[in-house]
Every structure is written in structure tokens, then in C-alpha cells.
Structure 1
Amino acid sequence: MIVYESESLGNHHRLDSFDCGKDELNSWLVDSALHCNRSNTARTFVWVESGGSKAVAYYSLTAHLVEKGTMPSRLGRGSPEQCPAVLLARLALDKKLQGRGLGGVLLADALEQVVLAVRNVAARFLVVDALDGEAVAFYERYGFKRIPGDNRLFRKMSDITASLTT
């Protein structure tokens, strides 16, 4: 059984052969992820095989601010006009790993990182701007609520924390 380890992206990681089937996600990893890490605009984590350096999956997280008026009323109820949030900016799994149920495991890894961060820096929501309808359906399976007519989805941090501790 192959074990994948999650690591913060570094210069030693091999990114050139990563292919999740979505050009936008592939090129962002290769062209922008390291720069975003260095400039503290997004933090990217990669999965590598134990002892290896080749990225086979990744996700990126960044701080975010959500306007109350952009959220469904049931989510925004009781929130200030601007709510602190975390944006799950990217999440991708190499095609070689797709179809094995690892997408949910990768998402759980990202959620655990967010929960750890929110222990020290407050955020009320996790936000995802899904790339397409397929991605929207994926996130909805994991409890994210879609804004009607948009590919933006939300999930309360309190719900995420509760789901990971039970």
C-alpha cells in the first residue's frame, strides 16, 4: 500500500508531471504556487509518496473576507457585515489517483489544516469557488452549500470542526 504524506510546498518538490486533467489547476501549481507561498498570498500543501518529492495532489488555502450580503441568509444570520473566512483556493488530485475515493481524503486533509489554523486565527466560514459543475457536486457531497446561480460554496467552520472530531 502506498502512503501519501502531506507537506507544505517547497522548492524540492517535483511539479512538472502533475496532471489532474484540468489545465487551469495544473498550470497554477507549476507557475504560481511557489510564488504565492513565498509572498504569503496562499499556502499550498502537496501530497507526495512516502520518501518522495513528486507531487500527486495539492490544495491551497488563503485568508478571505466574505460580505454578508453575498451569503445565503441562513448562513449569514448573526454575522457581521464582513466575515472572516478561509478560501480553499485550489484542490486537485493527479489523474493516476482519481477514482479511488482519494478526493475526499484530500479534502479532509485540507479541512484539518483549516481547523488547525482557525484555532489561532478566527474564521467563521470555509469558502470554495468551484471550477465547474463537477467540482460543485463534489463539494456538495461533503456538506458545502452552494449559492444559487454561482459556483461559490460555503461551509461553517463550526460544522467542519464538529465533523472532524466525531
Structure 2
Amino acid sequence: MSYTSEPFDPDHHDVSGFDCGEESLNTWLREQAGTAEVRRTARTWVWVDQDGSIAGYYALASHRVRREEVPSRIGRGGPEEIPAVLLARLALDQRLRGQQLGPVLVADALTRIVAASRIVAARLVVVDALHEKVAGFYEQLGFRRVPGSLTLVLKISDAEAAIEHAN
């Protein structure tokens, strides 16, 4: 099955059937994504399947991190406060588990982030993982953990190189 990535529109997209298994992520999509859009605090993108059901989503927001808070390989040469994009939320409906679509959804988000960074500069992608299992998922995708935390970072230049290599 194929999925279309499109901007979330609470007046158009039915979120009532979406269930990723993590209630905080379900609730955020149902109750806060629309408000975040209006307030310009996050942009949410939904994956819609052929019948119009939401199969997954992610939210992006501008962010910044202090250079000393990230691994030295990543922060080296950067300003004291490094411009970043926060991959604020990412969730895939439970019915799609085991199909290796999580990395594809992340790649969709990273493609959008790389394109945006060509217009508004950013150096890093930041993820605040909900728990260790999620942190491990992002580490497998090349994100580096900020020591002693559930925060992970990826250089946008690394994401861009991976996208170009995949195409």
C-alpha cells in the first residue's frame, strides 16, 4: 500500500481511528496538532492511505540546542546555540507494525527537514525520545544520543547525504 504525506488539516482529516499504541501521541494528534498549527508552534504532516485513513504522522518545530549539550563531533565548529529542527512527534498506526514503515516515516520527515533547511538554516535534527525503546529506534537510524538523556541528534548534512545516497 502507498501513503501520501500531506499537511494535517483537522477539518479534513479524521483522526478518530488513529491508534499508535501510545496514548500521549494519539491525544496530541486529536487535541493539540490543530492548535499547534494555528499558533505556529509545530507543523504536523500525516500519512494518508488510499481510503483516507491516517496511517502515521510527525510534527516538526524550530528548535535550538546549546553546543555543550551535544556530542563534540556534532557541536564542533558550531555557534554556542545551534539552530535545529525538532522532530517533535512521530507515530505509526498499530496496524502497520512489523512492516518496517517506521524508518520510512522518519525518512519522509528528514526529506522535508532537509528541504526546509535550504530555505531557513538549521544544522541539527533533534528528537526527545519517550523512552529507551524509542531512543534505540532512532540510534539505529544514525541519530546520536546526548549522554545521560533521551535526547538524540542528527546532523542535517548527514541526513542529506543519506537521502542523496538512497536516490
Q: TM-score range by the shorter chain?
A: over 0.9
Kept in 2: contact 1:12–1:53 (CA 8 A): no
1:7-86 equivalent positions in 2, closer than 5 A: 7-10=6-9, 11-50=11-50, 52-86=51-85
Q: 1-side partners of 2:20 and 2:115: how far apart?
A: 27
Partner of 1:154, secondary structure, is strand
In structure 1, the gaps of 5 or more residues are none
CA offsets per residue over residues 66-120 of structure 1, 9 Å max, x none? 1112111221111110110000000000000011000011011001110110110
Provide the aligned length of Structure 1 versus Structure 2.
Answer: 164
Q: 2-side partners of 1:119 and 1:75: how far apart?
A: 19
Does the alignment pair 1:139 with 2:160? no
Q: 2-side partners of 1:49 and 1:76: how far apart?
A: 39
Kept in 2: contact 1:20–1:93 (CA 8 A): yes
In structure 2, the gaps of 5 or more residues are none
Give the aligned residue type for 2:26.
N
Q: Normalized against structure 1, the TM-score is what?
A: 0.96
Give the aligned residue type for 1:35.
T
Does the alignment pair 1:120 with 2:116? no
Question: Moved runs in structure 1, 4+ residues, more than 3 A?
Answer: none
Q: 1-side partners of 2:76 and 2:49: how far apart?
A: 43
Give the aligned residue type for 1:96.
R
- Alignment identity in percent? 49
Partner of 2:35, secondary structure, is helix
1:53: Cα distance to partner?
3.1
Q: 1-side partners of 2:115 and 2:72: how far apart?
A: 27
Moved more, 66-75 or 156-165: 66-75
